[in-house]
Chain A
């Protein structure tokens, strides 16, 4: 990444072995006197050389490599082969999440394209590739190939296109275990039979499974899962198999759906994306304490970035919060959470990712970070200071009043409707679409 970015070209770079974080002083000493894995020279010698030898203002040339043969243009087609051989090829090429894919034959891709009125060559989005340092431009047809591979039905395709249009990968090139969530709101949830109720996050529903899978397949095929290039996550994260894709249970929620809180109309279909690191399932219902007490205890264990949290609650929880604890709206509840969750300042600042990403705001004088930085370690702060950054989503089947709490931040939403297949009013006015034509004499010729 650094080597590929011209912004850094004039800076000489020296590499140590990886990782640096979490190592003992003795191990770091060995890194300093040990060899740079990129050059084989001792790191400290390189540091002294770089600081004392004349600079050319240019990056050091990369190690000499054998001249590459002229690259042949990529094939537009794969040679016909057996299913077993092609599945093996897809696996070897890294065009899979490790599970078998549905092979994207021309016929299947054409059928997928019928799920949208957008032309196949329309550019859905452009995305920066960390693997190559280039911008990848992908079309409706490219996304259709992925949708087929994931096992999607054509009626899911508008949701997958909307997800692609966000320009966000499901995978992040980080050593951490980033995870993402894909939420669907609006009428399309029911039209494609998404699960918003019992077992919405279980591996049982085709639309939830396949749409979420398509997002990760897209990211993988974009080059976001190349080990030690773009895939560095030390442990990985199996939430990325389908990115917790589910629909909000709008019909059973006592509060407004998520997308209307973001300015969309209730009858619009929308995908929304959330991303973070920490995720906690509730152990059980909160019958000994109030729900807000229980949730506050849990969020107090998750130092947030930018006051962000996402709470995914069963409709029963939302109803209890409204009817028994008095929070008439999501905003009422978020305000109360914002004031209720407390954490010692020392716990907050001594959390590595907070120190890395929020301490700079304190040094720049940004409030409340600047004031928090001056506090003694045992002083209590309200780290979820901005209730607007607490996301409330209602999903579940009302078999138990449970919830999931995460540090996810909201990353944005995209309209599904612009990608829908437009109905032909002329042909379908009588409801005959999809029915066979009447039998005529010509059928017997």
Chain B
């Protein structure tokens, strides 16, 4: 006996109509009521070298990132001792809260920033 499957199966591959768009509130986008963050400016001026520069190592708060940044700091100390590293915890929620004073501090006192880690 042959079965005829006349209707599309509900799947991203077939059947369900798709539209471009961002995630709904609470699922990856900004919190309800908060605007989308502005995109980072293009053509950001960067140092040609990290020698004698200050690099901020920002722990997002995601599990594992504190220890990762500790080891990254250790790497800089051993291999690029002229680099000053500053470890910080990102204020605010790991997934949200992009408007905080840490970015201002880094702009004022730092030359570069590594932000991470999700894992």
Q: Which residues of A contact B (CB under 8 A)?
A: 1, 5-7, 9-11, 16, 18-23, 25, 28-29, 31-33, 44, 47-48, 51-58, 74-78, 80-83, 86, 90, 93, 95, 103-106, 109, 126-132, 134-138, 141-143, 145-146, 149, 167, 218, 221-223, 352-353, 355-357, 359-361, 363-364
Whether A55 pairs with B5 at a CB distance below 8 angstroms is: no
Residues 67-93 of B, flagged 1 when their CB comes within 8 A of A and 0 if not, give: 110111011000000000000011111
Min Cβ gap B72→A in Å is: 6
Q: In the complex, A250→B9 CA distance in Å? A: 36
Contact yes or no, B12 A129, CB < 8 A: yes
Contact in complex: B12, A136 (CB < 8 Å): yes
Given the known interface contacts A10-B42, A32-B72, the answer about A77 and B6 at a Cβ–Cβ threshold of 8 Å is yes
Contact across chains for A76 and B8 when beta carbons are under 8 A apart: yes
Cβ contacts under 8 Å, B74 to chain A: 25, 29
A20-B46 CB under 8 A given contacts A57-B40, A86-B5, A136-B18: no
Question: Do the beta carbons of A145 and B10 come within 8 Å of each other?
Answer: yes
Question: A78 touches which one: B5, B27, B91, B112 (CB < 8 A)?
Answer: B5
A-B contact pairs, 5 of them (CB 8 A): A29-B75, A57-B41, A90-B9, A222-B11, A222-B12
Interface 0/1 of B34-76, CB less than 8 Å to A? 0011011111111111100001000001111101101110110
A122 to chain B minimum Cβ distance, whole angstroms, is 13
B contact set with A: CB distance below 8 Å: 1-24, 27-28, 36-37, 39-50, 55, 61-65, 67-68, 70-72, 74-75, 89-94, 97, 112, 114, 117-119
Q: Given A83-B1, A103-B5, A364-B91, A128 and B61 touching (CB < 8 A)?
A: no
Of A19, A33, A52, A80, the residue contacting B3 (CB under 8 A) is A80
Output the nearest chain A residue to B18 by Cβ-Cβ distance.
Answer: A134
Contact of B92 among A48, A82, A109, A363 (CB under 8 A): A363
What chain A residues lie within 8 Å of B94 (beta carbons)?
356-357, 360
Known: A53-B46, A80-B4, A134-B18. A143 touches B39 (CB 8 A): no
Tell me the number of A-to-B contacts counted with CB atoms below 8 Å: 221
Of A11, A29, A54, the contact of B71 (CB 8 Å cutoff):
A29
The 7 closest A-B pairs by CB, nearest first: A57-B42, A20-B119, A21-B64, A106-B6, A10-B40, A20-B64, A74-B14
CB–CB A57/B44 < 8 A:
yes
Q: How far is the CA of A9 from the CA of B36 in the complex (A)?
A: 13
- Shortest distance in angstroms between B41's beta carbon and chain A's nearest beta carbon? 6
Contact A51 B71 (CB under 8 A): no
Establish whether residues B11 and A93, one from each chain, have CB atoms under 8 Å apart when the complex forms: yes
Q: A57-B44, A76-B8, A359-B61 are in contact. Are A28 and B23 (CB under 8 A)?
A: no
Residues of chain B with a CB closer than 8 A to A138's CB: 10, 16
Are A221 and B63 within 8 A (Cβ)?
A: no
Given the interface pairs A19-B119, A23-B67, the reply to whether A105 lies near B6 with Cβ below 8 Å is yes
Closest approach, in angstroms, between the C-beta of A362 and any C-beta of chain B? 10
Q: Which of B15, B45, B112 has the most CB of A within 10 A?
A: B15
Contact between B4 and A135, CB atoms less than 8 A apart: no
Once the chains bind, are B10 and A143 in contact (CB under 8 Å)? yes
For B41, what are the chain A residues with a Cβ–Cβ distance below 8 Å?
10, 57
Q: Are A74 and B64 interface neighbours, CB within 8 A? A: no
Across the interface, do A104 and B9 meet the contact criterion of CB distance under 8 Å? yes
Residue in A28, A83, A128, A132 whose beta carbon sits within 8 Å of that of B22 in the complex: A128
Decide yes or no: A221 and B10 within 8 Å by CB, A51-B50, A359-B61 being known contacts: yes
What residues of B have a CB within 8 angstroms of the CB of A145 in the complex? 7-10, 15
Complex alpha-carbon distance, A54 and B36, angstroms: 26
Most buried by B among A7, A74, A222: A7
CB-CB under 8 A for A55 and B43, given A167-B24, A356-B62: yes
Check B3–A55 contact: CB distance below 8 A.
no
Sample of 10 more A-B contacts, CB < 8 Å, known A20-B118, A142-B10? A21-B63, A22-B63, A25-B67, A29-B71, A76-B14, A103-B3, A105-B6, A128-B23, A137-B17, A221-B9
Q: A32-B75, A134-B20, A221-B9 given as contacts; is B3 within 8 A of A7 (CB)?
A: no
Q: In angstroms, how far is the closest chain A Cβ from the Cβ of B114?
A: 6
Beta-carbon contact of A95 and B40 below 8 Å: no
User: With the chains together, A103 CA to B5 CA distance in Å?
Assistant: 7
Contact B9 A7 (CB under 8 A): no
Q: Which residues of B contact A90 (CB under 8 A)?
A: 9
Known: A25-B67, A51-B50, A95-B11. Is A128-B6 also a contact (CB below 8 A)?
no
